Amino acid sequence: MTYDEWVSTYKPVQNELVANAPYDGTMFETFGVEVSHVLNLSHSDPSRVWTLLDCDGIQYVSAGYHLVNRLGYFITAERFADTPDDVCVLDDDELPPRVELRKRISSAHAEWCVIYDGNVYPFGGDSFGLECAEREAERMESARDNNGFNPDPDFYYSGEDLSGTIV
């Protein structure tokens, strides 16, 4: 479910306690009178309370009252029956690319590779290749968090056979 679908389905109510609340006036803060209001409702009608969470820089809306990684709360007009899946606030095309360190195995050889935003960047199959791949994965993560990554194609190892299964 997208954030827009969540809004349409559960209908977050306006925060009447303060002017200019975030998320089009629907978010409740994690302190003061706002959190007291949310906490009271979470005891009397818990299926209308949702938590805005930050997990590794990505914001999610999660059913229920949570404390860890919370940014704020929502109260909805519609109740949730079962605990629904978390809702990512961003659309899939707005999510930061994932960085994965994997091993690619082909009939000719095995090599370490880093997958960044669906692209495969190969390294050697030995311990030095693994060390380089780990460093590059860290660099990619850092660059992703700081406005993007531009790979240098000459930096990556390329064996004879680039096909193979990534495991």
Share of the chain above pLDDT 90, in %: 28
Greater confidence (51 vs 85) lies with: 51
Quick: pLDDT tens for 68-124.
889 899 999 999 887 666 676 654 444 445 566 666 665 556 666 666 655 666 777
| Domain edge (last residue) among 70, 93, 116 | 93
Number of structural domains (the chain) is 2
Query: Cβ(23)–Cβ(12) under 8 Å?
Result: yes
Task: Let me know whether 111 and 40 are in one domain.
Answer: no
Q: Among 76-80, 136-140, 141-145, 151-155, which range has the highest average pLDDT?
A: 76-80
Higher pLDDT, 61 or 157: 61
Residue where a domain stops, chosen among 62, 93, 124: 93
Q: Where does a domain end: 93, 119, 142?
A: 93
Q: Which domain holds residue 83?
A: 3-93
Q: Which two tokens stand for residue 160?
A: 């004879």
The predicted structure's pLDDT at residue 41: 94
β-sheet bridge partners, residue 116: 99, 119
Mean pLDDT, rounded, of the chain: 75
pLDDT reported for residue 164: 46
Q: What is the pLDDT of residue 8?
A: 92
**Per 3-state DSSP, what percentage of the chain is helix, strand, and coil (rounded to 5)?**
30, 25, 40
Question: Is the full-model pTM beyond 0.75?
Answer: no
12 with 87, same domain: the answer is yes
Contact 152, 114 (CB under 8 A): no
d(CA 146, CA 1) in angstroms, rounded, equals 28
Q: Domain check: are 118 and 146 in the same one?
A: yes
* Average of per-residue pLDDT across 55-66: 82
- Nearest-angstrom CA–CA distance, 16 and 26: 9
Q: Is 128 helix (H, G, I), strand (E, B) or coil?
A: helix
Q: Are 100 and 134 in contact (CB under 8 A)?
A: no
